[in-house]
């Protein structure tokens, strides 16, 4: 007896949207979703704090925009989220900061129709999973490390335990299990999907793995601070111009007022290109925290109130995001489903409008759901 007809790896926007859209299309198969993180969200996750339960800090994508025309399937997917208020139009300012310290606003790519999850970004994935009405099984805090293709089904094994899951079809929403970056970053010996289906068995899958191996992903170092300041009147985002980004190695500052009258600040730090390995990561995290904190007084010159709040800020640490915004070599939409190996792909690494952004994750999930419902059970 298999655990599921479809196993989805990853509960980010793409994985959760795939499940929600499949259910909207009346797909009745058994679905299991497995996620390494403690809850849904992926790169739209929200940081919670044990000692301050009212805190919600969007430490990955703080929102997103989409470019019309949107496919009907995507509009249908988002309609219930707009209706229940978990997806809303943002209404706070976006300011641009130049390398000479001058500000102008609003600016940045966030100008057009900026959308946010409410009350936080993780609410989007939570609301998408809720559309499944409890029909799928959800496995959080489990990182899949080994994949095996056994005759007509997939067997997925967790890292560091003997927990496993079996399913007829499998979808990877994150690209980690199919991308060689896992070798250096996590110290894995093989690319799990390549090991599961040896070269030559499925030409489509060979093409997928070749494309993904060529794609690079940007790394981010996001510093999170708790500021003793009510940020309601401050801009929501401060985007640096390209010249300012090069000067400070910071993309933007995101301010999120909290229910306890304090404000969360996320400094989106850009990468220096130093290779990340299990050994170098702890050192890099400390270096990035120090660097970003040291730069803040200069960056915040135009906002003296914010500047002085930062001096008394409590650090909530640095989050290293991998695979944020894949830079090149998108995966062709025609390769989203490899029938011979019964494996599919969705996420922001799929080609199309919104590639590398939240919109791409949503669109690719809708496309894959519409394809999966046409397959024989």
Residues that bind ligand FAD (CB under 6 A): 9-15, 34-37, 42-44, 60-61, 64, 143-144, 173-174, 176-177, 220, 222, 268, 321, 323-325, 347-348, 357-359, 361
Q: Which is nearer to ligand FAD, 94 or 342 (CB)?
A: 94
Query: Two tokens at 201?
Result: 């068995």
Q: How far is the CB of 335 from ligand FAD (least distance, A)?
A: 16
**CA angle 111–114–119, rounded 5-degree value:** 145
Q: How far is the CB of 6 from ligand FAD (least distance, A)?
A: 15
Q: How far is the CB of 39 from ligand FAD (least distance, A)?
A: 9
Q: Which of 207, 154, 146 is nearest to 2 (CA)?
A: 154
Q: Which is nearer to ligand FAD, 146 or 295 (CB)?
A: 146
**CA angle 87–105–89, rounded 5-degree value:** 10
Separation between Cα atoms, residue 113 and residue 264, nearest integer Å: 23
Q: How far is the CB of 115 from ligand FAD (least distance, A)?
A: 9
Q: How far is the CB of 137 from ligand FAD (least distance, A)?
A: 14
Q: Which is nearer to ligand FAD, 59 or 153 (CB)?
A: 59
Contact present, 10 and 156 (Cβ < 8 Å):
no
Q: Which is nearer to ligand FAD, 140 or 312 (CB)?
A: 140
Separation between Cα atoms, residue 144 and residue 165, nearest integer Å: 10
Separation between Cα atoms, residue 82 and residue 363, nearest integer Å: 17
Q: Which is nearer to ligand FAD, 241 or 325 (CB)?
A: 325
| Burial bucket for residue 307 (CB in 10 Å: 0-12, 13-18, 19+) | middle
């Amino acid at each position: 007896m298999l655990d599921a007809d479809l196993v989805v790896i990853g509960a980010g926007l793409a994985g959760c949207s795939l499940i929600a859209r499949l259910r909207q299309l009346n797909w009745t198969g058994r679905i299991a979703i497995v996620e390494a993180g403690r809850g849904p969200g992926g790169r739209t996750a929200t940081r919670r704090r044990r000692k301050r339960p009212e805190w919600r800090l969007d430490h990955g994508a703080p929102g997103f925009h989409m470019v019309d025309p949107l496919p009907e399937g995507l509009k249908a997917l988002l309609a219930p989220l707009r209706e229940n208020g978990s997806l809303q139009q943002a209404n706070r300012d976006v300011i641009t900061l130049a390398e000479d310290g001058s500000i102008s606003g609003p600016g940045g790519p966030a100008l057009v129709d900026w959308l946010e999850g409410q009350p936080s970004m993780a609410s989007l994935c939570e609301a998408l999973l809720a559309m499944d009405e409890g029909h799928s099984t959800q496995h959080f805090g489990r990182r899949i490390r080994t994949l095996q293709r056994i005759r007509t089904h997939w067997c997925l094994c967790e890292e560091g335990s003997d927990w496993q899951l079996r399913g007829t079809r499998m979808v990877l929403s994150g690209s980690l299990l199919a991308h060689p970056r896992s070798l250096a970053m996590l110290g894995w010996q093989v690319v799990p999907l390549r090991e599961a289906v040896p070269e030559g068995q499925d030409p489509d899958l060979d093409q997928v793995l070749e494309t993904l191996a060529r794609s690079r992903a940007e790394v981010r170092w996001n510093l999170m601070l708790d500021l003793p300041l009510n940020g309601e009147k401050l801009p929501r985002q401060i985007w640096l111009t390209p010249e300012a980004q090069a000067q400070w190695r910071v993309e933007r500052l995101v301010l999120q007022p909290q229910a306890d009258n304090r404000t969360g600040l996320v400094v989106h730090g850009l990468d220096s290109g130093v290779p990340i390995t299990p050994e170098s990561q702890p050192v890099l995290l400390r270096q990035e925290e120090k660097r970003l904190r040291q730069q803040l007084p200069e960056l915040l010159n135009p906002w003296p109130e914010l500047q002085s709040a930062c001096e008394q800020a409590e650090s909530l640490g640095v989050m290293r995001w991998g695979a944020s915004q894949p830079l090149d070599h998108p995966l062709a939409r025609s390769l989203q489903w490899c029938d011979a190996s019964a494996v599919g792909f969705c996420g922001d690494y799929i080609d199309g409008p919104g590639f590398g952004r939240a919109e791409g994750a949503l669109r690719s999930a809708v496309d894959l759901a519409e394809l999966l419902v046409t397959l024989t059970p």
